[in-house]
């Protein structure tokens, strides 16, 4: 079989796999908040952004490479690129540094970002460049900025974007500091887990801007009033990302769950509360609150960033349950 025939076979496989992924994302309901994102996911080829990725196995991680001389390996690579799973794309000494997020979660986050034509978007965490490409398809290159701390990541993201025909602004820098030279932004979306909301982001937002970011295994959607004030609820869905590296990163200490009832220990919703109140409530206190309040889902929690303090809360910003975020001296828990 000729090289041209092989290329066509691979391209046909990629097109078929992309169509299958799109159907899967649609069925998940991820596009419900903004169905216009379907067109972007149909148009942007994910495989161009993951020329290789790592697949876990018995002996560690195996590198799946699109440039393999073996056509079966290349076919496996293409099919894997369009599975609705996160793909490990950069590892160092067995530690995951960067990944391509699960496409259905990306779709949900982009839909919940509620962008409009003309909006300027800052993405924190360039990753492979795939998310920036989706944003660029929807809004245009000139309206999208993506930033990452690692120059190797930004260089490869820039290359992938160019190969796919997109040229947003790609910046190497500390995402916690934002990109002030490109401000103001109407939307900020983070694809890495935070422990607190960087104040620099609020200062770089236009009034009424939206910040969507992973925090405490959830997704917080904050509406920005001005440089010193933002507030919003968590979305219902869970979200797990690699941590933001740079000035905002703090390594969490392991938490002992001795004395916590089995129902709480096994619940993702309890672990969300535990992550949100880390350092404020011990596990037994968190478990008692969680049981008493009816095992609340993520959507009942929110975050307020004030001029001097930032805090998380259950049900109401000024209600009986509020906890300062890390690095803030805000209000403590009012009632246990």
- Tell me the pLDDT tens digit for each residue of 286-333: 999 999 999 999 999 999 999 889 999 999 999 999 999 876 655 544
pTM: 0.92
**CA–CA separation, 19 and 35 (whole Å):** 16
HSE-up of 89 (CA within 13 Å, CB side)? 30
Q: What average pLDDT does the segment 178-207 reach?
A: 96
Whether residue 94 is predicted with pLDDT greater than 80 in this model: the reply is no
C-beta separation of 41 from 108 below 8 A: no
Whether residue 10 is predicted with pLDDT greater than 70 in this model: the reply is yes
Q: What average pLDDT does the segment 214-232 reach?
A: 97
Per-residue model confidence as pLDDT tens digits over 32-60 = 999 999 999 999 999 999 999 999 877 77
User: What are the DSSP calls for 126-152, one per residue?
Assistant: -TTSHHHHHHHHHH-GGGEEEEES-HH
**CA–CA separation, 47 and 323 (whole Å):** 42
The predicted pLDDT at position 334 comes to 42
Q: Which tokens hold the place of 235?
A: 């979305």
Active site residues: 101
């Amino acid at each position: 079989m000729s090289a041209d025939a092989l290329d066509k076979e691979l391209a046909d496989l990629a097109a078929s796999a992309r169509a299958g992924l799109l159907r899967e994302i649609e069925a998940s309901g991820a596009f419900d908040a903004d169905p216009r994102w379907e067109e972007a996911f149909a148009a942007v080829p994910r495989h161009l952004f993951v020329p290789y990725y790592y697949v876990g196995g018995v002996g560690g991680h195996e590198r799946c490479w699109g440039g393999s001389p073996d056509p079966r390996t290349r076919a496996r690579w293409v099919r894997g690129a369009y599975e609705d799973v996160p793909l490990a794309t950069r590892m160092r000494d067995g530690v995951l540094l960067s990944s391509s997020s699960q496409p259905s979660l990306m779709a949900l986050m982009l839909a919940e970002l509620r962008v409009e034509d003309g909006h300027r978007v800052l993405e924190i965490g360039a990753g492979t460049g795939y998310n920036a490409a989706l944003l660029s398809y929807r809004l245009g290159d000139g309206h999208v900025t993506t930033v990452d701390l690692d120059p190797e990541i930004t260089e490869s993201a820039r290359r992938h974007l160019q190969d796919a025909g997109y040229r947003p602004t790609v910046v190497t820098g500390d995402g916690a500091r934002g990109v002030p030279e490109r401000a103001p932004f109407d939307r900020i979306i983070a694809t890495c887990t935070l422990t607190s909301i960087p104040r620099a982001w609020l200062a770089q937002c236009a009034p009424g801007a939206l910040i969507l970011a992973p925090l405490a295994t959830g997704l917080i959607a904050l509406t920005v009033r001005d440089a010193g004030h933002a507030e919003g609820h968590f979305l219902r869905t869970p979200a797990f990302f690699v941590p933001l590296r740079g000035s905002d990163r703090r390594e969490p200490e392991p938490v002992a769950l001795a004395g916590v009832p089995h129902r709480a220990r096994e619940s993702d919703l309890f672990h969300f509360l535990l992550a949100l109140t880390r350092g404020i409530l011990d596990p037994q206190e968190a478990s008692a609150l969680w049981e008493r309040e009816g095992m609340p889902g993520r959507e009942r929690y929110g975050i307020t960033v004030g001029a001097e303090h930032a805090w998380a809360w259950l049900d109401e910003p000024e209600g009986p349950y509020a906890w300062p975020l890390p690095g803030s001296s805000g209000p403590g828990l009012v009632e246990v």
